[in-house]
Amino acid sequence: MRPEWVDYNGHLRDAFYMLIFSLATDAFMDRIGLDDAGRASRGRSLFTLEAHINYLHEIKEGTAVRVEASVLAFDAKRVHLYMEMFADEGTEPIAASEQMLLHVDTTHGAKSAAFDADIAGRIEAMFRDAPKEARYAGRVIGLPSGPRAASASASASSGLSPA
């Protein structure tokens, strides 16, 4: 976590949680064989199609974080990755993100392509090892009763527990 990532509240700005998850996705790519060398020699890469993030706890400047990643699903060209971020030695996540990643052939522009067999094998191994629970996956963003006026119920609950 870097000083310039902090917002006016002294906390990590929302987008920089996403940057940490993005760097964790790079680590996932390294793990399955799509590191710098693998991307260059194969002419392949992963593109993020879609991402969802839940902000669960604030963190202050200087906090060390770690990310745990698992594969929730995959097909010939796509991986559904699930990640939870933890602060220091914490056991409760401070943020969670799920992402849909597309495998692309980058040799002529960028065109979706099937995973090479060895890469698919490593993804499948992670899928088999994935924990059964992905608490913040599959969510839809919305207010419980849909659009309504400000005079409506103020019983809004929140998952936010500021640190």
Positions that interact with a copy of itself (CB under 8 A): 8-9, 13-16, 18-19, 21-22, 25, 36, 39, 45, 47-55, 58, 72-78, 80, 98-100, 102, 104, 106, 109-112, 114-115, 120, 123-124, 127, 137-143, 146-154, 156, 158-160, 162
Q: What's the CA gap between 126 and 122, in Å, rounded?
A: 6
Structure tokens at 61: 């400047």
Structure tokens at 112: 């979706």
Across-strand partners of 6? 12
Burial class (CB in 10 A: 0-12, 13-18, 19+), 148: exposed
Shortest Å, Cβ 31 to a copy of itself: 16
Shortest Å, Cβ 144 to a copy of itself: 9
Look up residue 3 and give its amino acid.
P
Nearer to a copy of itself, 16 or 28 (CB): 16
Nearer to a copy of itself, 3 or 147 (CB): 147
Nearer to a copy of itself, 75 or 88 (CB): 75
Pair 108, 98: CB distance under 8 Å: no
